[in-house]
Amino acid sequence: MTKSTTPSLGTGISGLTAYHFLHRFLTPLLPNLQIDAYESYKSPSIGIGGTLGLAPNGLYTIKLVSQEAHSAILASGFPCAKFEFRNSNGKVLGLMSTGSPDRYPGTGGEVMHSRAAIYGEILKVLEGQGARIHYGKTVVGVVTKEEGVEVTFKDGEVVMADLVIGADGIKSTVRRAAFPGVEARFEGLVGVGSTIPYSAVPSSEHPKEIPYDYKNSKYSPTVMTFGSNGFFGYSPINSKTGDEGRYQWWSTAESDSEDRDLPIEEIERQLLERHKDWVNPKGEKVIDILPNYFMQTMEQYHSDDGRILLMGDSAHVMPPHSGQGVSLASEDGYVYARLLAHEIQRTKAAESQDYKTALSTAGKYYTEMRKPRNDKIMAIAARSGNMKRNLSWWEEKSRDFFFGLFLRFAPDSIHDGTFGYKADEEVDKFLSTKP
């Protein structure tokens, strides 16, 4: 491994964090190791990706990447430890805790943000450490051979490596090559969203105080609204007002098509038709296409020899309503890098130059650690997505009643299993049970 490259294919947030942790934990053991990241876009995709809510466990993992990146993300986003749920008639169904800094110390709690800003902060870290990132490199083939894994790019370049990390997203080329037949499929829901100026949002929906007083407030500026024919949500994505303030909005509904190239006029027509009768609690009317995908749970995230690994959406497609896509992808990178470093040390692979046992065992441990957690969160997300589908009158009323009841009695601890996950401590506990 000391004379070959370890490519990370894909440089979204998953690929960048994986690169960072591999570099951090492997190069002290293998000083001559060369790690390369390959990206199909011709330049950094800083302006791509929409908006999201970054959960406490994701912020914790980003803090493991860089304290500076973590602080910058918190400072530029909108911390919001509660979400408000409504129905399309304007009735408030209740509030739910989404992760406060008090309950999950050291994380900063939940923060609403743009994906591009989070990506940009992590990219700064990698550029500062001199990361080898190659843009405009589209993977067309990944083949395992006796001497390693052969990666072929569209421009004809061929790279041979001991280890290939597939962080190339929902329609992963690496997954198709290593695990044929496992594909992400359209789940019949499409999300549409964008950002708008603070001034475009009715003043009645603006935060009543900044920073948001989650401890005492009986409302939340992050609003999730369920109707009989879809879902609509909106939230600030920074803590500024006036011309510098920005909001995100998104709408999710059933669709027969996953076409991402609909004309703007058609998108606007569909949105107005879907939400034309929806109102807020005061009776005021509330007026990037993202198909939602589902993938069967994989039996393992690694090839049998451990030379090909999948991370993020390549391994477990998380629909947007999971709220965990970036967080789980970041955890993947940390966990695997730690496990591989441990196995290289345990097997004395650096001295023997024989990495077969280290790679195969680290791959097996990676699946063992990550799969149960990822599968559980995927299942919860699937149930959440069903609430956004078309419902009959009775189904809508039943959902509002039982969901409202749930919100009234749900304890703050309800998300502890997801939000309280600390990747470094979990790896320590796992390895304490292994040789």
**384-425 pLDDT, tens per residue?**
655 667 788 898 899 899 999 999 999 999 999 999 999 999
Mean pLDDT across 59-72: 98
- Residue 275 near residue 287, CB atoms below 8 Å: yes
List the CATH code of the domain at 5-431.
3.50.50.60
Report which of 408, 91, 382, 413 is spatially closest to residue 223, judged by C-alpha positions. Answer: 91
- pLDDT tens-digit map of 238-261: 999 888 999 988 887 677 666 556
Amino acid 264: pLDDT: 61
d(CA 165, CA 104): 31
Q: Is it the case that residue 187 has pLDDT exceeding 80?
A: no
Work out the number of other CB atoms within 10 angstroms of the CB of residue 434.
12
The average confidence (pLDDT) of the chain is 86
Amino acid 321: pLDDT: 67
Amino acid 271: pLDDT: 63
- pLDDT tens-digit map of 41-51: 888 876 566 78
Report which of 416, 53, 396 is spatially closest to residue 222, judged by C-alpha positions. Answer: 53
Q: 382-386 — which CB contacts under 8 Å span 24+ positions?
A: 382/294, 382/319, 384/321, 384/322, 385/187, 385/189, 385/252, 385/292, 385/319, 385/321
- pLDDT tens-digit map of 267-287: 667 666 666 565 554 444 343
Q: Is it the case that residue 289 has pLDDT exceeding 60?
A: no
Amino acid 129: pLDDT: 92
Amino acid 128: pLDDT: 95
- Say which DSSP state 295 is in: E
Dihedral (Cα; 237, 240, 242, 244), 10-degree rounding? -70
Q: Is it the case that residue 141 has pLDDT exceeding 80?
A: yes
Distances (CA, A) of 315 to 2, 58, 236, 425: 27, 17, 31, 23
Name the band, by pLDDT with cuts 50, 70 and 90, for residue 2.
very low
Q: Are strands 78-79 and 34-39 parallel, antiparallel or unpaired?
A: unpaired
SS3 state of residue 51: strand
Domain boundaries, the chain: 5-431
Q: Is it the case that residue 303 has pLDDT exceeding 70?
A: yes
Tokens matching residue 406 = 């749930």
Bigger pLDDT: 331 or 399? 331
- pLDDT tens-digit map of 217-244: 889 999 988 888 788 889 999 999 888 9
Mean pLDDT across 352-381: 94
Amino acid 1: pLDDT: 44
CA angle 368/370/376 to nearest 5° reads 110
